[in-house]
Amino acid sequence: MFDRIREDIRCVFDRDPAARNAFEILTTYPGLHAILIHRLAHRLWHCGLKWPARLLSNVARLFTGIEIHPAAVIGRRLFIDHGMGVVIGETAVIGDDCTLYHGVTLGGTSWQKGKRHPTLGRDVVVGAGAKVLGPIQIGDGARIGSNAVVVKAVPPGATVVGVPGRIIEPDRDATSRRRADTAKRIGFDAYGATRDAPDPVANAINRMLDHIHHIDQRLESMSYILERHGLMVHFDHDGDIDAMEIEPATRPDIAQADDPTQARG
């Protein structure tokens, strides 16, 4: 038992730079308190003492703000950071080395008995306010962004963001790379537009980037033809476009930031 507690304390040191010493963690971290109480409640539940188990879990919720059903299965080295508002349902399963932030819900989408809550693999991180709903599988090493709503299975190592949750994938195909290159040339952030915007907006912007690329190719072909007929000299892309940039309103002035005399109190 004491080995498990030491293991829990070590995992807090590994994942929370604000942790200073073991005594502070043991006495002031509600996530650790909720996990320790859950182990006792889980044991009572499987011994058939279901009412005392539920009562104990409610006491833990009262003092920690974290609600864990006594029947939930939790692996080793779970770290619940901050913890307030975390809800873990009855049939939820959490693998080893997972991390949950405040406001996370591992909930169900059905009133039917049986498996209705998610299963998290090993080393899964669920950001603040995220909702993982239904009897879905979250693969090992997956990352779920803050406030995402996940209702479909997530493959191992994937990152999910948005409402509803969408999987972010690297730009492996030529079309995605071409869109990024076109967006960079005209001074537009393709990553922010296509990954963070809602799907209808992302689709519209992707079509615009494709259209710009096709127009660019046609203009180059026309310039070659006109050059062969001696009507004009072939032109390349305007290099000034690459230097054009719109400064964000929230971006601090670099020179002022580097000058300590310009710092404000």
Q: What is the mean pLDDT of the chain?
A: 78
pLDDT category, 138, cuts 50, 70, 90? very high
Question: Beta partners for 133?
Answer: 107
d(CA 91, CA 120): 11
More confident residue, 183 or 2: 2
Complete DSSP assignment for 136-159: -EE-TT-EE-TT-EE-S-B-TT-E
Minimum mean pLDDT among 55-69, 89-103, 209-223: which range?
A: 209-223
CATH class of the domain whose range is 2-168 = mainly beta
- Across 41-104, where does the E strand assignment appear? 67-68, 73-74, 79-80, 87-88, 93-94, 99-100
pLDDT score of 190 more than 50: no
More confident residue, 260 or 206: 206
pLDDT score of 169 more than 70: no
Minimum mean pLDDT among 62-66, 148-152, 180-184: which range?
A: 180-184
> How does pLDDT run across 6-18, given as a tens digit for each residue?
888 888 888 888 8
Taking the domains of the chain in order of start, what are their residue ranges?
A: 2-168, 174-262
What pLDDT is stored for residue 196 in this prediction? 43
pLDDT category, 72, cuts 50, 70, 90? very high
Token representation of residue 120: 């998290």
Minimum mean pLDDT among 61-75, 92-106, 137-151, 204-218: which range?
A: 204-218
What pLDDT is stored for residue 208 in this prediction? 79
The reported pTM is 0.63
